[in-house]
Chains A and B, each alone.
Chain A
Amino acid sequence: MAIKGNLRDFNVTQLFNLINLARKTGTLTLEGQSESAWVSFREGKLIFAHIGKEDSTLPGILLKGGLINPSQLRAIKTHAASKSDKELGLMLINAGYVSQQDILNSIRQYILDIVYQLFTWLDGFFRFDTDVLPPEDRISIRLNLENVIIEGARRSREWEQLQEEIPNLDMSLNFVNRPGANIRDVNLNVEEWKVVSYVNPKNTIRQIARATRMSDLDMRRVVYGLLQAGLVEIVRPEGMPLPPQVKQFKPVDEKQQASLVNRLIQRIRSL
């Protein structure tokens, strides 16, 4: 019988720990709020991961890793569509496009990027299916889970902190109109510049994350840095309706209300 439950009760760290200690072989399916993910293990080692509609074939992974460009990806898909990942990998190595180490590093990074993201999932259904493994033609690697768990737990704590700081990605960013604050004078890295180029009350943080292909965690990290540096502020997106106010003042006569407040002021002064 499959191990199944909700991440609220048994989180990703605990699941990975269980899989590691019990040296399990199979695939863990996680259903998050907006997408699903599949993580495969062999005898307690992490061997593969796939999330949502992401292209987890070798060409897709190499594109994500920056080892091929989109036109090369198209060419590979046109001319080598029938080849398995293993055959394609050999072909690319023999043609001198990439080394074996390049391929393994890209797959490793791809898997870890997905898995670390999963540590931030606090809610959702999970199921572990014993002996279900990724298709044979996929190139799998073997990663020790201990290090993954330690790093994942660290990121999970960071995630909680960042989520507290930036709880809503559907808000926008705007440059702070502060004397002396000039974005050109600040040393930003490539990711920060990418985000800065989209800063505009019309773009939500979530939209910027999509446009820059950044994970929610990375996006929150960048936004947190920009906020702390006092370069940007969080604003309501243009055109976003105000949230319904649960509690509103009853419509009152302004004169009456002013009189009431003035009476309160007089009373408190006299205390």
Chain B
Amino acid sequence: MQTVKMVVTGPFNAGKTHFIQSVSEIDVVSTERKITSEAERVKETTTVAMDFGRITVDDDLVLYLFGTPGQKRFDFMWEILSEGMLGFIVIVDSARPETFREARGILQTFRAYAPTPYVVAANKQDMADAWNVDDLRIALKIDSKVKMLPCVANDKESVKKVLLELLYSILEEINP
């Protein structure tokens, strides 16, 4: 049995857990805990180690999706999670510009860990105050060559599109 891994990363409350839940065939093995920091109390719980989802391709191949913890104090986990990944997805909360700087930092950190393809998912595009993808690209200083995709993490089709675009990028890298 061969297993491959993709990492889903992004700032706190960007929607990483929802993203994985939308496509995982198993209940996401989530390690959520009640939030203790007042500053980050925009939701009740957060991922402290990793989310873990699975998509079985066939008898010989399984894709695992790993979600990184969003709070900065758990960033020691990132390098471990990035080991051997096929590619990664950076989820950005399009409606919270105060997290853009952090998203950019996370993106740069993961790029330093491994030279694998990645895409950026502009999540929460269904919210009224979400920044559009073009504006986000400028705000996050994302190169025009990098795929930046609109996304709604609890919409399965939207998540599938992001995963597929990442796989197309990986394929392009193998067969330039």
Contacts and interface: CB of A to CB of B under 8 A. Distances in A.
B113 A267 contact: no
A237 B175 CA distance: 29
B83 A267 contact: no
B23 interface: yes
Contacts of B170: 261
B164 interface: yes
Interface stretch (B44-52, B53-61, B129-137): B53-61
Nearest to A267: B57
Nearest to A266: B57
A260 B79 CA distance: 24
Given A268-B23, A271-B23, A254 B175 contact: yes
Contact of A247 (B56, B101, B113, B164): B113
A73 interface: no
Given A260-B2, A263-B57, A267-B57, A246 B174 contact: no
Interface in B159-176: 160, 163-164, 167-168, 170-171, 174-175
A166 B174 CA distance: 32
Contact of B171 (A247, A248, A265): A265
B39 interface: no
Contacts of A260: 2, 4, 61
A52 B45 CA distance: 50
Contact of B4 (A246, A264, A265, A266): A264
B57 A264 contact: yes
Contacts of A247: 82-84, 113-114
A271 B116 contact: no
B147 interface: no
Interface in A225-271: 243, 245-249, 254, 257-258, 260-269, 271
A35 interface: no
B63 interface: yes
A235 to B, nearest CB: 12
Q: Which of B4, B84, B174 has most chain A Cβ within 10 Å?
A: B174
A265 B113 contact: no
Contacts of B114: 245-248
A164 interface: yes
Interface string B89-120: 00000000000010001000000111110000
A266 B61 CA distance: 12
A268 B160 CA distance: 6
B112 A267 contact: no
The 5 A-B residue pairs whose C-beta atoms are closest, nearest first, are A267-B57, A247-B114, A258-B174, A265-B167, A261-B171
Interface of A: 164, 243, 245-249, 254, 257-258, 260-269, 271
20 contacts: A164-B101, A247-B83, A248-B114, A254-B175, A257-B174, A258-B171, A258-B174, A260-B2, A260-B4, A261-B86, A261-B170, A261-B174, A264-B4, A264-B63, A265-B167, A265-B171, A266-B57, A267-B58, A269-B164, A271-B55
Given A269-B164, A271-B160, 9 more contacts: A246-B114, A247-B83, A247-B84, A258-B171, A261-B86, A261-B170, A264-B4, A267-B57, A268-B23
Interface of B: 2, 4, 23, 55-58, 61, 63, 79, 82-84, 86, 101, 105, 112-116, 156, 160, 163-164, 167-168, 170-171, 174-175
